[in-house]
Chain A
Amino acid sequence: SQQGEEDPQALSIQEGENATMNCSYKTSINNLQWYRQNSGRGLVHLILIRSNEREKHSGRLRVTLDTSKKSSSLLITASRAADTASYFCATDRSYQKVTFGIGTKLQVIP
């Protein structure tokens, strides 16, 4: 069964706007990660946040984690056309078994 579930499933914004994607999960986790996938390619790791962290930044990315609500959000600021991709959250449980959500498809319109 899927551990993470992203929301919304699709998002379309204008270049320069901020994009926010959310992820909810069901069981307790060690870490939560966000990945990006360009069309028809493999996934690329973006950022990891540990269960004892609440917020993390990396360039134009900001990730928050609320373990009491079992949810995380990914904010991409000042979006660019090149940010167009699908974004997945991933959680790891036992034995480093990493499971992914369904993903949010982001389109940034130039």
Chain B
Amino acid sequence: DVKVTQSSRYLVKRTGEKVFLECVQDMDHENMFWYRQDPGLGLRLIYFSYDVKMKEKGDIPEGYSVSREKKERFSLILESASTNQTSMYLCASLVGTEAFFGQGTRLTVV
């Protein structure tokens, strides 16, 4: 069975903190994605990666960075968390055209 695991289900951080959201997949997929989901806005693509050490900006990369040092792990980094980054974050990996999602991390920035 395909598995995408996000390190935390719920996270509360303070404004200005550096935040790491981790995502691991066990399927040897090359493509991995980070989305954020907000009410009324659907899923918006933050960053994606199609290979180790490769990254591409999505539609809303501002305030975020990513790291892909190993094929199975794709990290989303909030350098200095702000309250407008409070959201549900979803990681996905892709085989062919089918995306497999993690369970999501609900991040609250206070």
Chain A interface residues (CB < 8 Å from chain B) = 1-2, 30-31, 33, 35, 40-45, 48, 88, 90, 92, 95-103
Asked whether A96 lies within 8 Å of B50 as measured between CB atoms, the reply is yes
Q: A48-B98, A90-B99 are in contact. Are A42 and B50 (CB under 8 A)?
A: no
Complex Cα spacing A40 to B39, Å: 12
* Minimal beta-carbon separation of B108 from chain A (angstroms): 14
How many residues on B have C-beta within 8 angstroms of the other chain's C-beta atoms? 28
Find the A residue at minimum CB distance from B35. A100
Work out how many contacts link A and B, with CB atoms closer than 8 A: 66
Complex Cα spacing A1 to B42, Å: 11
Find the A residue at minimum CB distance from B58. A97
Query: Interface of chain B, helix or strand or loop or mixed?
Result: strand
Complex Cα spacing A11 to B18, Å: 40
Q: Which residues of A contact B100 (CB under 8 A)?
A: 45
The yes or no answer to B81 lying at the interface (CB within 8 A) is: no
Asked whether A103 lies within 8 Å of B42 as measured between CB atoms, the reply is yes
* Minimal beta-carbon separation of A22 from chain B (angstroms): 15
* Minimal beta-carbon separation of A30 from chain B (angstroms): 7
Complex Cα spacing A65 to B97, Å: 17
